[in-house]
Amino acid sequence: MGRRTTLDRFGGKATAIGHVRGLGPSHGGTHHWLLQRFTAVGNLVLVGFLVISLVLLPNYTYATVHSWLAHPLPALALALIMVNTFYHARLGLQVMIEDYVDTPGNKLAAILALNLAVFGGAAFGLLSIARVALGAV
């Protein structure tokens, strides 16, 4: 697409160790990479709990689901799922944006919108769980 990458522009001038220390155009990413794995392992446990619970529930009527979600353990698991899956999704969608949105301004806007959406979504979920678990009918 005619884009000149950082490597194209600066590649010839850096020493070998400079290439390593430069960490590429983002100047970071280890933390992102690690958190993607940490949240992945968390999701394995938490969503695993949700999947097994869904199989074991006798039906999915309002009464059944409401009384199940009012118990402390399912409420805790769902609350953690809100934090963990939305964080995992935030990291994954950020990579998608970085790969496919090339214009710097659009990229910033997309990542801004992503952050608002995931925090808003997780907060809505947490509030809904709290409402059920703390007894509002």
Partner 1 sequence: MLVSILHRVTGDGMAFLALPVLLWWLGATASGPDAYADFAAVMGSIPGIIILVGISWAFFNHMSSGIRHLVLDIGAGYEIETNRRWAIGSVASGLILTAAFWAGVLLI
In the DSSP assignment, the letter for residue 5 is: P
C-beta closer to partner 1: residue 6 or 54:
54
C-beta closer to partner 1: residue 10 or 124:
124
C-beta closer to partner 1: residue 7 or 52:
52
Closest separation between CB of residue 2 and partner 1, Å?
25
How big, in percent rounded to 5, are the helix, strand and coil portions of the chain?
80, 0, 20
97: closest CA among 88, 84, 106, 85?
106
Which three-class secondary structure state does DSSP give residue 26? coil
Closest separation between CB of residue 132 and partner 1, Å?
5
Positions in the binding site for partner 1 (CB under 8 A): 37, 40-41, 43-44, 47, 51, 54-56, 60-62, 65-66, 69, 78, 81, 85-86, 89, 92-93, 96, 121, 124-125, 127-129, 131-132, 136-137
In angstroms, the CA 2 to CA 12 distance is: 19
